[in-house]
Structure 1
Amino acid sequence: MSHHVIVAGGGPAGLLTALGLAQAGIAVTVLEAAQAANTSPRAMVYHWPVLPHLERLGILDDCRRIGFLKQDYGWRFAHTGEMIDWSLECLADEVERPFNLHLGQDKLSDIVFGHLAKMSNVTVRMGRKVVDLVQDAGSVTVTVETVDGERETYEGDYLIGSDGAASVVREKLLKLNFFGVTWPERFIATNIYCDFERHGYRRTTMQVDDEQGAIIVKIDDGRFWRVTFMEDAALPSESIEARIHEKFKTLLPPGESYELVAFSPYRMHQRAADTMQVGRVLLVGDAGHITNPTGGLGLTSGMFDSFAVVETLKRVMLDGAAPGLLKDYSDDRRRKFIELVSPRASQNKLTVFHSAPGKAFDIWTERMREIARNKDLQRGALSFTAGLATQFS
């Protein structure tokens, strides 16, 4: 019996889902509204628990060739210059790969697209925006609109909605709620050439300050870095680039030259759909939940959605598991987001961007120093993301 799954959305979560299903022998059609991959500054840090999954999918070596693995973390206090160091080396006795992967999200997409292109049971259609879906007890029929305004239909056993935070599948077609809050600030993610390392910055540096707070992360083995900071969302969007240069006068190391390559402004949210499964439609990644990016938990949790939905569909479609497993997928992924991802990401944001000198800050700072000195405490702090995976019996 042949099986076919439609994936609406060609971002990392959707593409990894497509790859996992295709490797299991399931025919997959990927429908992406855009005509090309998004190359704007986006998520780029992959936490260590996802690396075994990337290896299982056969893409880890490609990811390592283009990106790099690292262990170092730094918590830097802008008003004093103090750097508190953590390292994934503390996990070396417990996990095979105690590293995080740094790789642009667009580069990951390119890698997965390359693997999908070699598979005879995968079809990728760019420039196809999903505009309608109809499902019954045995199938899902999806209607798309091409860039020329023509309409096409695709039929499959299941539909994966992986079309991002503004998901048409979730909002327009399933008409689900997207509960939560929108933060009042605007994030500005920039890609720049700058020599942070000669000033003692770690390859992941969380700069903690209520005025100069920033996430500073190395992109490649050279001088290419991501610097993300926050500003008032009421400021005019047309003058963002000018404000970036003004901000960098105080945010970057004194006297250090830089070249601004790209920037991307975006609003931040903590939201989750009221379900991630409606009949034969399942949501993954930002289509099902969205978080502010402080700590890199959005991309990591979305990847765990992908790994979980692949395993769920394999069991239902290939092994004869009861369809109730689809609801279990939804319940578990929502719980992981609501109870773990969103609270931790919210606390990360408040810590990095809203910490001012004072008694509470001094207590928190001393706690961070204690974790740096105590490998057991550090091991616990750096193992958090392992708990985001869905466990199957």
Structure 2
Amino acid sequence: MAIDTSKNETPVLIIGAGPVGLFLALRLSQSGVPVTVIEANSGLDDSTKALTHMPTIYPDFKRAGILDDVLNAAGELRSTSAYFRRTSDKSVITKLPIPPGKPGPCLLPQGHFCKILLKHSQRAGAQVLFGHRFESVRAQEGSRVHVDVSSDDGVKKTFDARFLVAADGGKSAVRKAAGIEFEGETLPAQLVATDLYYPFEKFGWSATDANFFADPQDYGLITPIDGKGLWRCSFGLQLNKDSGEGSRKEGLSMNEIESAVPRKFEKMLPSEPGKKPEGWKLVQIAPYKAQQLCAKTMRKRSVVLVGDAAHLTNPYAGMGLNTGIFDASSLADALVSIVQRDASDSLLDKWSDARRNMFLKVVDPMSRAAYWAFQDPDTDSLPDRHPMFKAMKAGPNAKPPELGTDVSKFVEFK
């Protein structure tokens, strides 16, 4: 492998060009902090993945100058609601109330969101290098971190940065290299997200709203993805009750998952009376684990964790991606204060504590409550148990859970 001996210096090096890494790069670049993003793939991941943006994140989008682009890209899905249904007969338990004059959640495929972020971050001056893979943290000297990276064209490079940010997902190589452990548990279920085409509107379903299904076995979610006929159907598959933690982490095989898809569609998709759903077209299957995990720390010397590299949660409260964006937004404020205003690096320790507390005390319990609420056989009481409904029942002026962090109150100057 050839070695690039040129000097690759940057105040901030981000590993991972997903939504959280790119949002952080955008905010830093807009503030005048030079940043380089390293991404192992040859281009953006254009898969649908996470879809939901809660209105609480809109002020941060507006601050970054992307809110209009996000809402315009979402089109008819820019303000949605959700139906809660019984899987047994598809009947509606209730509909999530949206306060008058306020927007509902926005649905936008993650690949589309990342394209918006890439365009804006590069326009602001961020350097994004695709086809570059993080290899190791070779050495740390003083307040600098040295990172070895290999490129697709066979060149090894070393980057010298003041801060290394891990935005490389739940299996983060950076987190592992830094020796930071996850704490928490893997829940006893295999979660599966499928994308499909099916004429839901033919059966009277709203083309712009999500549908959550309550059932002890056949719980899940069906939601439009792009407003053009592509839908997401997500569900859980029970693991063997006698399986240990090792089996939970391993999950089901792809053959087992693929064989379960028609059975789940039969349970969840609407159809003519007495008939099975017909004519669905499966586009993709994406299995993932039901995990509630958080890193022991989100900062270790020059290494900082954000998004899924820092914490993982199930999707049934719609808080995963939004929490990651709030990580990036608050971290951007902290790094700008340190790099440009000579604030103490201890600000990152306070930021780390605040973000971990936000996950452990707000995100984790709410997402767990949402996950188990859909599996309770008492479906009639779902509105009394689901955290989204509890928040709505507090009244039109009730504030949603605060997921952001104001780092200005932590700033200390050297």
Is TM (by shorter chain) over 0.5? Answer: yes
Q: Which amino acid aligns with 1:190?
A: T
- In the other structure, the counterpart of 2:110 is 105
- In the other structure, the counterpart of 1:230 is 236
Q: Is the 1:40–1:262 Cα contact (8 Å) retained in structure 2?
A: no
Deviates more, 1:73-82 or 1:26-35: 73-82
Which of these residues, 355, 362, 376, is aligned with residue 355 of structure 1? 376
Distance in structure 2 (CA, Å) of the matches to 1:34 and 1:338: 31
What is the TM-score when the length of structure 1 is the normalising length? 0.89
Q: CA deviation at 1:88?
A: 2.5
Distance in structure 2 (CA, Å) of the matches to 1:339 and 1:18: 28
Q: CA deviation at 1:305?
A: 0.2
Q: CA deviation at 1:146?
A: 2.0
Q: Unpaired runs of 5+ in structure 2?
A: 1-8, 240-250, 410-414
- In the other structure, the counterpart of 2:19 is 12
Which of these residues, 381, 384, 388, is aligned with residue 400 of structure 2? 384
Which of these residues, 184, 187, 195, is aligned with residue 183 of structure 1? 187
Q: Give the superposed CA RMSD.
A: 2.4
Q: CA deviation at 1:178?
A: 0.6
Which of these residues, 43, 64, 74, is aligned with residue 57 of structure 1? 64
Distance in structure 1 (CA, Å) of the matches to 2:263 and 2:358: 39
Which of these residues, 95, 99, 104, is aligned with residue 89 of structure 1? 99
Which of these residues, 275, 280, 298, is aligned with residue 276 of structure 1? 298
Deviates more, 1:260-269 or 1:161-170: 260-269
- In the other structure, the counterpart of 1:342 is 364
Matches within 5 A, 1:26-41: 26-41=33-48
Distance in structure 1 (CA, Å) of the matches to 2:98 and 2:327: 24
Q: Is the 1:86–1:378 Cα contact (8 Å) retained in structure 2?
A: no
Q: Which amino acid aligns with 2:94?
A: I
Distance in structure 1 (CA, Å) of the matches to 2:253 and 2:148: 38
- In the other structure, the counterpart of 2:227 is 221
Q: Which amino acid aligns with 1:142?
A: V
Q: CA deviation at 1:98?
A: 2.7
Q: CA deviation at 1:195?
A: 3.1
Aligned partner of residue 295 in structure 1, secondary structure:
coil
Distance in structure 2 (CA, Å) of the matches to 1:290 and 1:367: 22
Aligned partner of residue 78 in structure 2, secondary structure:
strand
Which of these residues, 70, 84, 90, is aligned with residue 75 of structure 1? 84
Structure 1 residues 35-62: Cα deviation after superposition (integer angstroms, max 9, x where no partner): 2222334111011111111122111222
Q: Figure out how many residues of one structure are paired with residues of the other and give that number.
A: 377
Task: Describe the shift of the 1:266–1:380 C-alpha distance in structure 2 as closer, same or farther (beyond 3 A).
Answer: farther
2:210 corresponds to 1:204:
yes
Q: Which amino acid aligns with 1:83?
A: I
Structure 1 residues 217-262: Cα deviation after superposition (integer angstroms, max 9, x where no partner): 2212232211100113564312533421232112100235422122
What is the TM-score when the length of structure 2 is the normalising length? 0.84
Task: Describe the shift of the 1:235–1:88 C-alpha distance in structure 2 as closer, same or farther (beyond 3 A).
Answer: same
Q: Unpaired runs of 5+ in structure 1?
A: none
Aligned partner of residue 266 in structure 1, secondary structure:
strand
Structure 1 residues 272-326: Cα deviation after superposition (integer angstroms, max 9, x where no partner): 1110001121110011111111121111100100001001111111122222111
Distance in structure 2 (CA, Å) of the matches to 1:229 and 1:293: 11
Q: Which amino acid aligns with 1:389?
A: G
Structure 1 residues 161-218: Cα deviation after superposition (integer angstroms, max 9, x where no partner): 11110001111x1111111111221111011122334545451221111122111222
- In the other structure, the counterpart of 1:122 is 126
Q: CA deviation at 1:78?
A: 2.2
Distance in structure 1 (CA, Å) of the matches to 2:130 and 2:396: 43
2:121 corresponds to 1:132:
no
Q: Is the 1:3–1:317 Cα contact (8 Å) retained in structure 2?
A: no
Q: Which amino acid aligns with 1:216?
A: I
Q: Is the 1:74–1:201 Cα contact (8 Å) retained in structure 2?
A: no
2:146 corresponds to 1:141:
yes
Deviates more, 1:192-201 or 1:40-49: 192-201
Q: Is the 1:159–1:281 Cα contact (8 Å) retained in structure 2?
A: yes
Identity rate, percent: 29
Q: CA deviation at 1:13?
A: 0.5
Q: CA deviation at 1:71?
A: 3.9
Q: Which amino acid aligns with 1:38?
A: D
